[in-house]
Amino acid sequence: MDRVPYAHPLTFGLSLNHQYSPFKDALKNPQSYQEQVDSQRYFGCFSYLSYHGNFNVHNYSLEPAFIHKRNERERQRVRCVNEGYARLREHLPQEFEDKRLSKVETLRAAINYIKHLQNLLEVSLPQ
């Protein structure tokens, strides 16, 4: 199999390297069976690509400042949301203390607890 150099993809998976593109001659007459088989060689051309970096490491020095600031704002927002859920869990009854609740479970437990407290108020207050 011939090795084909990797061309960075554009939007929607199109490539700048039109020589190996399966859409190169989309409007020409249908290919013969042998031509179709020969044209299948591009499918395996990406399997040999190697990546020598670490997938967990991101080089922020190449990142524009506005992207870095946007990402930092998003990280801060996520931290605040998670902190809010942690504070909400602290106010739930002790039966939930030992259980690790997801965000949805936390919200459902809080709703049920609020309804329970409202029912207690309705029962204890004269009408």
**Of the ranges 13-22, 45-54, 95-104, which is most confident?**
95-104
What is the CATH architecture of 60-124?
Irregular (4.10)
Whether 11 has a pLDDT exceeding 50, the answer reads no
Q: Domain ranges in the chain?
A: 1-50, 60-124
Residue 21's SS3 state is: coil
8-18 mean pLDDT: 47
1-24 mean pLDDT: 50
> Model confidence at 20, in pLDDT bands (50, 70, 90)?
low
Average pLDDT, the chain: 73
DSSP 36-94: HHHHGGGGGTTTT----S-TT---GGGS-HHHHHHHHHHHHHHHHHHHHHHHHHHTS-G
pLDDT tens-digit series, residues 31-68? 554 555 455 554 454 445 555 555 666 666 677 899 99
